[in-house]
Every structure is written in C-alpha cells, then in structure tokens.
Amino acid sequence: MILKILILSITAVTISSSINPNPRDLNRIKQMDSNENGEISYEEFNASALDRFTLLDTNGDGIVTGEEFMNPMLEQFKNMDLNTDAVLSKKEIRKALKKMRKEKKTKMIEEKKQPQPFIKQ
C-alpha cells in the first residue's frame, strides 16, 4: 500500500513534468533515463522507483514501514521546530516558509546560470 502511494506520487511528478518541464524535472528525467535514449522505459521507471524505495528502506530489510516512510518528513519537522519543543508554532512555520522561499529563489538564480540540459530526441 505504501509502495503504491510512492509510485503514484512519482507518476504524478513524471506527468506534471511532461506538461510543464523545468530544468530540475528535466534533470530528474535524465537521471532516470539510464541508457540515455531520451525515453523512460518501463524498466527505467521501475529502477528509479526502486531507488526511492531503497532510499526509504533505511534498515534495508526490503520493506518500508510507516515509520521509515515518515522519517524524511519527521526530519523536516525537526528542522522547522526551531526551539525543539516538539510542536510547530505559527512563527516557526512562517520562518520555515520564508527560508524555503529564499532557498528556492537562490536555486532558481543558480539554475538560470547553468546551461539548459541537453535532451536527446
């Protein structure tokens, strides 16, 4: 069930990127395209999904538990919880959003500097 959600979310990313591609999505597609023929085959898609699965399966027992699935989100929560009282105040969320916006802006500027990725037809 968890894996199904994961695959669905990856599918959503792939679909949205084909409608409105931006350099970061194109890079992601490029990474998935292991034989560099400009297409993501079923096998390549599966390998990439499996990569993410492996990433989430932190203890490597071949299954992703709810805890493992939530870990990245918990990490993010901890990063946002500035005074470490295990709850997020409006102030902390505001600060986190501000920080994210700033990081996004910086990233966008950096991406603009970089040449467009070359996609083989």
Residues that bind Ca ion (CB under 5 A): 33, 35, 37, 39, 57, 59, 61, 81, 83, 85
Cβ closer to Ca ion: 39 or 111? Answer: 39
Smallest distance, Å, CB 8 to Ca ion?
A: 20
34-38 own/partner pairs: CB under 8 Å, 24+ apart: 36/120, 37/120, 38/119, 38/120, 38/121
Please say whether the beta carbons of 8 and 49 come within 8 A: no
Q: How far is CA 9 from the centre of its chain?
A: 10
Smallest distance, Å, CB 118 to Ca ion?
A: 15
Cβ closer to Ca ion: 25 or 81? Answer: 81
Cβ closer to Ca ion: 35 or 121? Answer: 35
